[in-house]
Structure 1
Amino acid sequence: MALAPSDLAAIEAAITDAEARTTGEIYCVVTDQSGDYAETPLAWAAGAALLGPALLLLGGIHVTAPDLVGGWAAEQVGEVAERAARSALIGAIVLQAALFVATLVLVALPPLRLALTPRVFKRDRVRRRALEQFAAKNMHLTRERTGVLIFVSFGERMAELIADEGIAAHVEARVWDEAMAALVAGLRRGEAGTGVAAAVRLCGEVLAERFPPTAQDNPDELPNAVVILPRV
């Protein structure tokens, strides 16, 4: 999913219009993906390898001791049992190694790796990158601490909204739910530009109501253009 030039222009126009009616600052950052999730293939490969012995049993492979009634000596019984146990152990190790390598290679494919990463881990990675961008772009240095970051990560189809303390002290977190719902709905429809622009407009309405502009004193402290980050 990517933003076309027309989408970028529409979002920038929405930000400009929203900020004309408030002292708040809206800043949009988008990225293809917030993490590489390199640990996901290793976790799945280890899990598959641990299933190796269970797969042997399910496949009907069992280790049995020889029948003592057939004239076997105690020494022969011990030797045969030892060979059988060793063969079973080697087979299990080989199977586990094969499962580990095959799963590692398969899950390492980017689309599958992302799909098999638990949602909670993706949410955490998106949240952390959004916070990093909030600090990196110096959004906490606006004059009245009224910056709002809208961060969108297309790969995970997730978004974060971070409001600076000047806003958070007066606006409950649930107030932003409508804006975030509009954004996520756009992502799910494959209309990212429409979703982000809608979220900007709704955020602008919240900010205009609570932080109206001061006559002749409403500087534009942050760029209105959408910032596009490279994939991690």
Structure 2
Amino acid sequence: MLNDDERAQVKAAVRAAEAQTRGELYCVIAAESSDYRETPFLWAGLAALAAPAILLVAGVQVSVPDAFAPWTAAQAGAAVERAVRGALTATLILQAVLFVLVAAIGSLGPVRVFMTPRSVKKDRARRHAEELFLARNLHQTRERTGVLIFVSEAEHAAEIIADEGIAAVVDQSEWDAAIAALVTEAKAGRLGEGLARAVGMVGEILGRHFPADQADNPNELPDAVVEIPRL
């Protein structure tokens, strides 16, 4: 996801930022935050439900016997039954075809992500960031000053999560400019530079609220960016 120069750039930015604050920064880039396995089946089900409407739009009709034709009651009943059975069979076949076709197309990775609603992808990215915050022990720094800068590539999402020691003082809105800078650079294909810029901006914010203690400022978290491949 990053080349060696970009990894070195981000690592240097983390070290420079932490030199001016007691906060601890941790950067993670994930290829994706979810596999969205349920998405193709959701769309496939909706496509199958649309089969009757598709048949109606296509002009398919159920023909019934002419009431004034010389039919016996048994003949008329049998003809109606055949017509209805044929229409139901056509509907079921079309539903099955649509379900399989949409599910197969949606199973392709990029298509699956594209078919997932934006709100769902944003929620999954946020949840993944929160899980990583705990899994990587960012909540166990001495002054509860861990900050996670998280990027999820497939979702085109970025999150900044701060531990309670920082969240009690710094409002989430203060991170917006850093996230905006990160997203702008990432869209231009400069993810490493965007991450380094965001780290610098977060460091400035932390420096104002939690300035470094030059006599006691341990480095409690790794400075290198963590890259998580596709699930």
Q: Same fold (TM over 0.5)?
A: yes
Residues of 2 paired with 1:124 and 1:42: CA distance?
20
Shift of 1:229: 1.3
Question: Which deviations, in whole Å up to 9, do the C-alpha atoms of 1:88-130 show, x marking residues without a partner?
Answer: 1111101100110011101111111111100111111111111
Which residue identity lines up with residue 24 of structure 1 in the other structure?
A: G
Residues of 2 paired with 1:69 and 1:203: CA distance?
84
What value does the CA root-mean-square deviation take over the aligned residues? 0.9
Shift of 1:230: 2.4
Residues of 1 paired with 2:65 and 2:230: CA distance?
60
**Corresponding residue for residue 181 of structure 1:** 180
Q: Structure 1: any 5+ residue segments left out of the alignment?
A: none
- Moved beyond 6 Å, runs of 4+: none
Residues of 1 paired with 2:171 and 2:107: CA distance?
41
Kindly indicate whether residue 103 of structure 2 is the aligned counterpart of residue 104 of structure 1: yes
Identity within the alignment, %? 51
Question: Which deviations, in whole Å up to 9, do the C-alpha atoms of 1:155-192 show, x marking residues without a partner?
Answer: 11101110001101111111111001111111211211
TM-score (norm 1): 0.97
**Corresponding residue for residue 67 of structure 1:** 66
Shift of 1:5: 1.1
Which residue identity lines up with residue 91 of structure 1 in the other structure?
A: A
Which residue identity lines up with residue 55 of structure 1 in the other structure?
A: I
Q: Structure 2: any 5+ residue segments left out of the alignment?
A: none
**Corresponding residue for residue 81 of structure 2:** 82
TM-score (norm 2): 0.98
Which residue identity lines up with residue 226 of structure 1 in the other structure?
A: V
**Corresponding residue for residue 230 of structure 1:** 229
**Corresponding residue for residue 12 of structure 2:** 13
Shift of 1:73: 2.0
Residues of 2 paired with 1:74 and 1:207: CA distance?
87
How many residues get paired?
Answer: 231
